Amino acid sequence: MRILRTIAEVRGAVADARGAGKSIGLVPTMGAFHEGHLSLMRRARERDGLVVVSLFVNPTQFGANEDLGAYPRDEQRDAALAEAEGVDILFAPTADEVYPDGFATTIHVAGLTEVLCGAQRGPHHFDGVATVVAKLFGIACPDTAYFGQKDAQQVMVVRRVVRDLNLDVRIEACPIVREPDGLAMSSRNVYLDADARTQATALNRALDAASAAAEAGERDASRLLTAAQRVLDDAGIAPEYLELRDADDLRTVDRLDADALLAVAARVGTARLIDNHVLKASA
């Protein structure tokens, strides 16, 4: 595996791979790898001739009071894990390489970014995500880019960028990877002490409760949300949001007449955690 720092190096490596007839798979990450990240790398390794993993804690998607400075970083550990998964290139640029002096372009996706995490974290968050992902697509020119379904809203935003800008890249959303007790794997889980770690399991249990109600035939959105809220109340968690929205465009829904995204965000201890289930209307 090669660790590359510059855009020119990555473009050169991708051009060589293309010349050899290889497809390109890209896994965009901010590092602090866990099994969720590794599952994306394995999927790319199965499908593509050249696997590129970006490791870049993107400053533009963090707000002034968010955890940019504290975000976990361990490049040596991440590099060892990526190499063990057969990754070909780890692209680990500096902020100046990605955002050179005079950088003045931002991609904004209207609508999708104004609810859920966009409403809580502010418009800068998904503007930063959309912009850096578009840059990574331009740098690595992947055939396929792999994202985790845990960040469901992010996946929807990226798909819209690809559609609206006619980018020639396929987006594959891979299933959420969970701990044995159901907690969705996240780099921010390292912030949880023992008590908060136990409390955090209520997020998935809340989603499970609503999913069970939907599978039993409940279609009223307010009742589905109530089933989830009870679990959070019992765990002492006040969510930033707990919402049921259309799985295609994030419109609010009153009834489960089409597939819907049940999404939750909450602060547990010092960590802000997110999770989601897709509720099937056909269940």
Catalytic sites, residue numbers: 37
Please indicate if the annotation marks 36 as binding a ligand: yes
Please indicate if the annotation marks 37 as binding a ligand: yes
Alpha-carbon torsion, ordered 192, 197, 202, 207, to 10 deg: 70
Under 8 Å between Cβ of 139 and 11:
yes
Please indicate if the annotation marks 154 as binding a ligand: yes
Please indicate if the annotation marks 151 as binding a ligand: yes
Q: 117: left (phi > 0), else alpha (psi -120 to 50), else beta?
A: alpha
For residue 161, give the nearest of 102, 113, 121 by alpha carbon: 113
Please indicate if the annotation marks 148 as binding a ligand: yes
Please indicate if the annotation marks 153 as binding a ligand: no
Strand partners, 52: 26, 89
Alpha-carbon torsion, ordered 188, 69, 142, 168, to 10 deg: 100
Please indicate if the annotation marks 102 as binding a ligand: no
Residue 174 CA to residue 4 CA, distance in Å, equals 26
Please indicate if the annotation marks 182 as binding a ligand: no
Please indicate if the annotation marks 178 as binding a ligand: no
Q: Which residues contact 102 (CB under 8 A, 6 or more apart)?
A: none
Binding residues for ATP are 30-37, 148-151, 177, 185-188
Binding residues are 30-37, 61, 148-151, 154, 177, 185-188
Binding residues for beta-alanine are 61
Binding residues for (R)-pantoate are 61, 154
